[in-house]
Amino acid sequence: MLYVSRVLNMHSLAQKAAFAAAVLVLSACGGQPTEDVANQPSLQLSLSPASSSVVLSGNITFAGVNGTEPYTFGLVSGAGTIDAASGVYNAPGTAGNAVIGVQDSTGKTATTNVTIVGPVNISPATVNVLASGTHTFTGSGGQTPYLFSVISGGGSVVSTTGVYTAPVGAGTSTVRITDALGQTADATVTVLPPLTISPATLAIAVNDTQTFTAAGGTGSGYSFSIVSGAGTIDSSSGLYTAPAATSTVIVRVTDSGSNSVNATVSVIGPLYIDPTTWEMAANNTKAFTGVGGQPPYTYSVQAGGGSIKSSTGT
């Protein structure tokens, strides 16, 4: 055959390699090798686009450039189909790679690579976020770069990083990722009301008790604990017992979604009045003072005669 004799007469290994590649493309395009092909190891013909990506089961149209019409297109390797006359390539339903070939009317050939891209994904697909809280979404698959957006509900998201900030009120939002090929995937965000602990601040006497309560967050699975300081607390009921010495204590509640909020407790010493006993003449005055406890103090006469200023103790 003609192309066999031409290969045997070639003196350059590069010429032989170029000719072998051309024969492969010609075979895919339904053509036959000629002496012109063998004599052109550096082909000028090219395909447009030079390289491309396409979604699963999508299509892309190729065109010959710098050749002589008509062009004939073929699938050199990989999956999918291509129309020999129009250059329309139909991608398969699975990700992978393909090589497209073209032959012009003079027998010149060229190839280009196609990447068949799988669907884009967003993670997590569902998430709970506290009001005014943040969460970072990530993308996978598809074709980078990714862009993030909020398509419904409240909140905002940084388009390039996927950092979502929830609104101040509870509700539902949808965050979308879009890849470079226009593929999209959505995530559902449930915006929870803020988690609160009550009381948020507390002054309590040594050895006294106080029950803390929680609201908001996921609304369930509240667990109470002491982050720092002394005393004890029942993890389920929130009943706190102060220590026998003064101190500052941090009490925390955590909901079933691992959201948490703290309360500050000041454990104070016992309250005294000074002096505890006093003898005085009729119509005379005396100033009493409070010691310990938690200011401000309020003074009152509990039994007997006389009067006292509630704010000063006189």
Where residue 203 falls among pLDDT bands split at 50, 70, 90? very high
Residue 70 burial by Cβ neighbours in a 10 Å radius (0-12, 13-18, 19+): exposed
Q: In what order do the strands lie in the sheet with 171-178?
A: 126-130, 184-192, 171-178, 147-152
* Nearest C-alpha neighbor of 99 from the set 110, 86, 116, 114: 114
Asked whether this chain's domains 2-117 and 196-268 adopt the same fold, the reply is yes
- Say if residue 10's pLDDT is above 70: no
Name residue 278's beta-bridge partners: none
Position 247 scores a pLDDT of 94
pLDDT (average), residues 234-238: 98
Distance CA 298, CA 289 (A): 10
Distance CA 6, CA 100 (A): 25
- Say if residue 179's pLDDT is above 60: yes
Q: Which two tokens stand for residue 66?
A: 């710098």
Stretch among 17-31, 68-82, 84-98 having the lowest mean pLDDT: 17-31
Stretch among 27-36, 65-74, 129-138 having the lowest mean pLDDT: 27-36
Do the bridges between strand 126-130 and strand 184-192 make them parallel or antiparallel, or are there none, so unpaired?
parallel
Domain borders along the chain are: 2-117, 120-192, 196-268
Which CATH number applies to 120-192: 1.20.1630.10, 3.90.550.10, 2.70.98.60, 2.60.40.1080? 2.60.40.1080
Whether the pTM exceeds 0.75: the reply is: no
Number of Cα atoms under 13 Å in the Cβ half of residue 42:
1
CATH class of the 2-117 domain in this structure = mainly beta
Q: Which two tokens stand for residue 15?
A: 């010429």
- Say if residue 113's pLDDT is above 60: yes
Position 25 scores a pLDDT of 52
- Say if residue 53's pLDDT is above 90: yes
Cis peptide bond prior to 124, omega within 30° of 0: yes
Which residue type is seen at 30? Answer: G
- Say if residue 22's pLDDT is above 80: no
59 in Cβ contact with 90 (< 8 Å): yes
Where residue 26 falls among pLDDT bands split at 50, 70, 90? low
96 in Cβ contact with 78 (< 8 Å): yes
Question: Which of the pair, 298 or 3, is modelled with greater confidence?
Answer: 298
- Say if residue 282's pLDDT is above 90: no
- pLDDT-above-70 percentage for the chain: 86
Distance CA 251, CA 65 (A): 73
**Cα dist. 27→23, 38, 75, 77, 114 in Å?**
6, 15, 10, 11, 19
Which residue type is seen at 251? Answer: V
Position 94 scores a pLDDT of 96
Q: Which two tokens stand for residue 177?
A: 């990722």
Position 32 scores a pLDDT of 53
Check whether domain 196-268 has CATH 2.60.40.60, yes or no: yes
Name residue 17's beta-bridge partners: none
Q: 306: Cβ–Cβ under 8 A, 6 or more apart, which residues? A: none
Check the CA dihedral 152-158-164-165 and report its sign: negative
Name residue 312's beta-bridge partners: none
- Say if residue 31's pLDDT is above 70: no
Q: Which two tokens stand for residue 268?
A: 């104070």
* Nearest C-alpha neighbor of 220 from the set 193, 239, 199, 250: 193
**Which residue reads 């002394």 in tokens?**
230
